[in-house]
Amino acid sequence: MKVGLIYDPIYLKHDTGAHVENSSRLVETVALLGKSKLMGKLVHIAPRVAILEEVSLAHSHSHISRIRGCSARGGGWLDGDTYASPASYDVALQAAGGVLNGLDAVMAGEVNHAFALVRPPGHHATADEAMGFCLFNNIAIAAEYAKKKHKLERILIADFDVHHGNGTQEIFYSDPKVLYFSTHQYPWYPGSGSIYEDGSGDGKGFTVNVPLPAYCGDNELLRAYKEILAPVAKRFQPQLVLVSAGYDPHWADQLSLMQLTVAGFAGIVSIIKELADELCQGKLLLSLEGGYHLEALSNSIKATLEILLGKSPSPDPLGKPRGVMMPPDISSILEEVKSRHNLG
């Protein structure tokens, strides 16, 4: 089993200072992968600069110009949460280009699966706006690129970040070629992602949101992926699976009120991998989104890569949630989603 890893130290040059989304996220992860000897089992995939034509598949020229201009002027705040440094425009192009190189490697069969350890993240970036720490929407650019270059007709995007990927949803809201599936804490930033947001026009029914209340844990999230994603994916029959891999639903994460464990993420990735293996010859690419507790993030990414390699995940050093809140019963939510999407 060949698993690609897209990473380059250039991603550390998106300098956000003391911002919660900072370079330590990747430094800690790379260190753990090296210490555990897992790095040597991965196929390194170098990034490249995404060209304007590729980025503009998902973003307006005015949006691209705004990011470029902000970096050229020395950086600054793009909104109350999102910062660009002098190098951020170039780094964001390398993040998007890294994901595209990973996609090409998966499509060519050079690797079975790939993980893009990139930043800045992307799933909040809309066609016209940077927000939620995101400059360019890496996964959305990859999906549009897969449609254009690889002539794909059916692409599944699964998003397990604690925050709803409003940018990805918006970009593909009327597109029947892209099925967007998201589990997320709700209500929570950015406020979107209700059950009733399910697409428009030709894309009606191709957005599937599973909004979950606070304090959901492994059992609740695994139910959502088994009971909702699995039948939806099998009905859709994707030719490629893309994943916005956000690890902020972990119980230790400071931006979350969820209770997932490292083992829970391994379980989610296992379900997605099994679906990709069954439905599209294993064509699976994950790209990093959130996750801000460094130990939880690095160990969850390590567990993800172990699953992709066909290995059992290592013991979870953080263990189960401390000060556990009773998980909510999500049965009624799942039933409403099933009804909305005719899942029987």
Catalytic residue IDs: 124
10 Å CB burial of residue 72 (0-12, 13-18, 19+) is exposed
Q: Which residues of 147-177 are buried (b: 16+ CB within 10 A; e: fewer)?
A: beebebebbbbbbbbbbbbbbbbbbbbebbb
CB 146 within 8 A of CB 102: no
Residue 3 main-chain phi, psi, to 5 deg: -120, 125
Amino acid in position 52 = L
Tokens standing for 218? 């492994």
Q: Find the DSSP H helices in the chain.
A: 24-35, 52-55, 61-72, 88-107, 138-149, 166-171, 218-224, 230-236, 262-279, 294-308, 331-340
Check: CB of residue 242 under 8 Å from CB of residue 143: yes
Q: Tell me, what DSSP letter sits at residue 115?
A: E
Cβ within 8 Å of residue 269, ≥6 positions away: 245, 286, 303, 304, 307, 308
Nearest to 79 by CA among 171, 186, 190, 208: 190
In DSSP terms, which residues pair with 250 in a beta bridge? 260
Cα angle 144-149-151, degrees, rounded to a multiple of 5: 85
Quick check: 119 and 288 in contact, CB under 8 A? yes
Give the C-alpha separation, 103 to 225, whole Å.
23
Concatenate the DSSP letters of all residues of 17-45 into one string. Answer: TTSSS-THHHHHHHHHHHHTT-GGGSEEE
User: Cα separation of 229 and 214, whole Å?
Assistant: 20
